[in-house]
Amino acid sequence: VEERLYLGMDFGTSGARYAVIDKEGTIHAEGKRPYPLNSSKETVDWARSWKTTLFSLLEDVPSSLRSFIASISIDGTSATTIIIDSTTGEPLHRPFLYNESCSDALPVVKSIAPVNHTVCSSTSTLCKLISWWNSDESNKESSVLLHQADWLLWLLHGKLGVSDYNNALKVGYDPELDAYPPWLLCQPYSRVLPSVQAPGTVIDIMKEDIRTRYGFPEDCVTCTGTTDSIAAFLASRATQPGKAVTSLGSTLAIKLLSTNRIEDARFGVYSHRLDDKWLVGGASNTGGAVLRQIFTDEQLAKLSEQINPMEASRLDYYPLQSVGERFPVADPKMVPRLHPRPPNDAEYLHGILESMARIEAEGYTLLKHLGATPVEEVFTAGGGAKNGTWTKIRERVLGLPVSQALHTEAAYGAALLALKGAQQ
Ligand code: ADP
């Protein structure tokens, strides 16, 4: 029997990665590319940079594997937006980046959207769309809004105006209605919105010229993608309600698979749809960035070995880089608490790791109080995941099984979406 493979690509903030997997999830090839900054110093031509990277990655996929690729999917940074002319395919404006603020449109957005809706943030896709709509002189008759992942996939399949409900959340798509809401549809700019599918839905076969240029098979299909952080969650292969991923990077972020949708703007808690479940998320300002202010990564590793994780530290801190916390405590005036500092550094680190574990536990408790499925098992991603001492501390504090996620690369999650699409 001929083996079939599945290609996922992740377009992150500084570069892009790919992963090729089989139906068991075994990786056959992976790689990465930084974005080329082919431009004048001030303005990077991001659209061109991403496009170049897309085709470089296709070339990086070993040619011996390409003819086995049954499907491709791509994730991109959430709220990265490109508006293009559907007649020429050319961008009508440079891409709006994920963290770009369009505060000029915020009052309008707040006047049309429900209170505390996800779109009520100056970096939301909807703010970007309205800001462009109100200021740009170009012909709007034939314009289409695409998210970064949609646009890159479009380069491969050529069918205009297709997105997924994870990327579309920040433009106002209602994943529960499975439609754009009436308050959005009555606006003149709603006609530029893409159609929306579940992530990992077949869009179309790959364009013939690309297929033949790279040696992908005739039946190779493209599938809708998702956002980079959801793709990273998917990589953990947590599929049951109650399974969660804690990401211990610069900040501490938790994502819990739940049977029901939870939204609470006070804590910055919101949910993404994943088929018949919801992925509930919250992010604390505590995390590795604070650790890095105090210890080098080498010190962290060495000192951690001197800690007995079975023993509770009595030091009670709230490690923050600066004033303010949102989740699990909504307090914009919260002051970082990292004192008293014991003379022994291992003891100090023990107190910090234990305190962060308590914040993590409070996070899961808060999600439960807000109505989410209670957490049963935690997988870990990010720089802190490799710290076995911290894992044991967290197991004790959370009272749950905690382990390192087998896979954490968003590209792997995107490859799983390609697999999902091919199996439909
Ligand atoms: P991000 O992508 O969010 O910047 P990473 O996932 O790369 O972060 O993780 C980096 C963080 O991991 C750093 O802030 C660092 O303090 C932390 N880190 C590195 N090594 C360890 C360790 N052994 N124990 C705990 N934290 C660590």
Per domain, the residue ranges of the chain are 5-230+411-423, 239-405
pLDDT of residue 137: 80
What are 45's two structure tokens?
A: 């031509």
CA distance 13 to 249: 15
- 80-97 pLDDT tens trace: 999 999 999 999 999 999
CA distances (Å), origin 411, targets 29, 32, 147, 232: 11, 10, 17, 8
What are 311's two structure tokens?
A: 């023993």
Amino acid at 14: S
Amino acid at 32: K
- 194-222 pLDDT tens trace: 999 999 999 999 999 999 999 999 999 99
Query: Would the CATH topology of 5-230+411-423 be identical to that of 239-405?
Result: yes
In this structure, are residues 388 and 197 in contact, taking their beta carbons and an 8 Å threshold?
no
Instruction: Tell me which DSSP letter residue 168 carries.
Output: G
pLDDT of residue 348: 98
- 16-71 pLDDT tens trace: 999 999 999 999 999 999 999 866 666 889 999 999 999 999 999 999 999 999 99
| Helix, strand, or coil (residue 63) | helix
Question: Does residue 1 have a pLDDT over 60?
Answer: no
pLDDT of residue 38: 66
Query: Quick one: fold of 5-230+411-423?
Result: Nucleotidyltransferase; domain 5 (3.30.420)
CA distance 59 to 54: 9
SS (H, E, C) 305-317: HCCCCCCCCCCCC
164 alpha carbon to ligand 1 midpoint, in Å? 31
The radius of gyration of the chain's CA atoms, rounded to the nearest angstrom, is 22
Query: Quick one: fold of 239-405?
Result: Nucleotidyltransferase; domain 5 (3.30.420)
Return the closest-CA partner of residue 168 out of 110, 226, 116, 223.
Answer: 226
Atom 12 (ligand 1): residue with closest C-alpha?
A: 383
| Helix, strand, or coil (residue 382) | coil
ipTM of the complex: 0.97
| Helix, strand, or coil (residue 76) | strand
Neighbouring CB atoms inside 10 A of 261's CB total 17
In the structure, what pLDDT confidence band is assigned to residue 409 with cuts at 50, 70 and 90? very high
Question: Does residue 299 have a pLDDT over 60?
Answer: yes
296 alpha carbon to ligand 1 midpoint, in Å? 10
Q: Which residues form ligand 1's pocket by a CB distance below 6 Å? A: 249-250, 288-289, 291-292, 297, 300-301, 304, 382-384, 386-387, 390
Instruction: Give the nearest ligand 1 atom to 247 CA.
Output: 6
298 alpha carbon to ligand 1 midpoint, in Å? 11
Q: Which of 228, 248, 379, 391 to mutate to test the pocket of ligand 1 (most atoms within 8 A of CB)?
A: 248
319 alpha carbon to ligand 1 midpoint, in Å? 14
Q: Which of 294, 300, 349 to mutate to test the pocket of ligand 1 (most atoms within 8 A of CB)?
A: 300
pLDDT of residue 85: 95
In this structure, are residues 258 and 278 in contact, taking their beta carbons and an 8 Å threshold?
yes
